[in-house]
Structure 1
Amino acid sequence: MIEDEKTLLQELLRQEETLQFGRFSSETALNLGLGIVNAARQAGQSVLVDIRFGDLQLFQHAMESCNPDNVDWVRRKNNVVRRFARSSFYMGTLYRSKGTDFDAATGLDPREYAAHGGAFPIRIRGAGLVVGTVTVSGLPQAEDHALAVVVLQTLCS
């Protein structure tokens, strides 16, 4: 494993440990979703934002230039978080750091799973379980991930 990947994996785990909610509601999802949309707008970016609590979609917004491919990326990234309880960016980075890729190592169908940055687990502090996901699609994977994280940092205290 190269040092940059090791450092990145440590940072991604730190984010998951610290960016947890005291409670999560429909109102929280709305604030998170609108925060991401506004941050993307301010940066001149166009993304699709999806927030789920379990199987329930609490928020989705597709900005200009989004298309059905973004919806599919969201679904596939969410599947990774739901299966592994880690961010989709972490999972892709983990397998690359081992000299392989997620698809080859897991044998999972790439039409159903995408270990690319953008889906982040929603956890309730102290509970430990993943209760939902926040997902961004439309930018390069590190930027999708970073956009979600920057807004999560403002809401998770």
Structure 2
Amino acid sequence: MPSDQDSWPTLDELRREESELELAGLSETDAYELGTLAVAAASEQRLPIAVGVWRSGRQLFHCGLPGSTADNDVWLRRKGRVVTRFEHSSLYVARLCQDKQVTLAEKYGLPASRYAAAGGAVPLRVRGTGVVGWMGVSGLPQLDDHRFVVDILRKIQQ
């Protein structure tokens, strides 16, 4: 029986997607705009998610929408630590682990209590600088969390 992970993008597709999501900058105002755009889109769809935007280890935006819980906040931070550590989306790292049939703990010695290889957090790359932070959501199935963030980042680029 195929798993939902069979429909995930490949590592090459995820790398390409990440390279297309460069931002001009990430100021506090930029983070607020990203976060409020995500909250508006999630509110319109009545999604029970937590949204976060981080830069250089500092949380610049957070919102827990109706139906989200404190557990979503914990998942959000765990996914974000994966992005900070690997400078790839948490879905990329989840796919990498799936393809190699290992866990983060087995491959990298990272405790599951602090790191989650699960989709939903995406690196924020600034043109000419590289990864400066991450944006994530938690509350939906992990592929949907990932796609939601990517859609918001694409909207902000327009």
Q: Same fold (TM over 0.5)?
A: yes
Cα-Cα RMSD: 1.6
CA contact (8 A) 2:104 2:112 kept: no
Cα displacement (A) at 1:68: 1.2
2:68 corresponding residue in structure 1? 66
Relative contact order, higher structure (CA 8 A, sep 6+)? 1
Secondary structure, counterpart of 1:66 in structure 2: coil
SS of the aligned residue for 1:38 comes to helix
**Stretches of structure 1 lacking an aligned partner (at least 5 in a row):** none
Shift of 1:50: 0.6
| Aligned ranges 1:47-86 → 2 under 5 Å | 47-86=49-88
Identity %: 39
Runs of 4 or more above 4 Å deviation: 4-7
Q: TM-score, normalised by structure 1?
A: 0.90
State the number of aligned residues: 153
Helix, strand or coil: the match of 2:137? strand
- 2:3 corresponds in structure 1 to none
Partner of 1:111: 113
Cα distance change on mapping 1:118 and 1:80 into 2, 3 Å: same
- The AA in structure 1 aligned to 2:48 is S
Name the amino acid aligned to 2:140: L
Asked if the contact 1:122–1:132 (Cα under 8 Å) also holds between the matched residues in 2, the reply is yes
Q: Deviations over 1:32-67 (max 9, x none)?
A: 111111221222311100101112211100001211
Where 1:40 maps in the other structure, the secondary structure is helix
Report the Cα offset of residue 103 of structure 1: 3.1
Q: Please list every run of 5 or more consecutive structure 2 residues that lacks an aligned counterpart in the other structure.
A: 1-5
Q: CA deviation at 1:5?
A: 7.4
User: 1:18 corresponds to which letter in structure 2?
Assistant: E
Q: Is 1:151–2:146 an aligned residue pair?
A: no
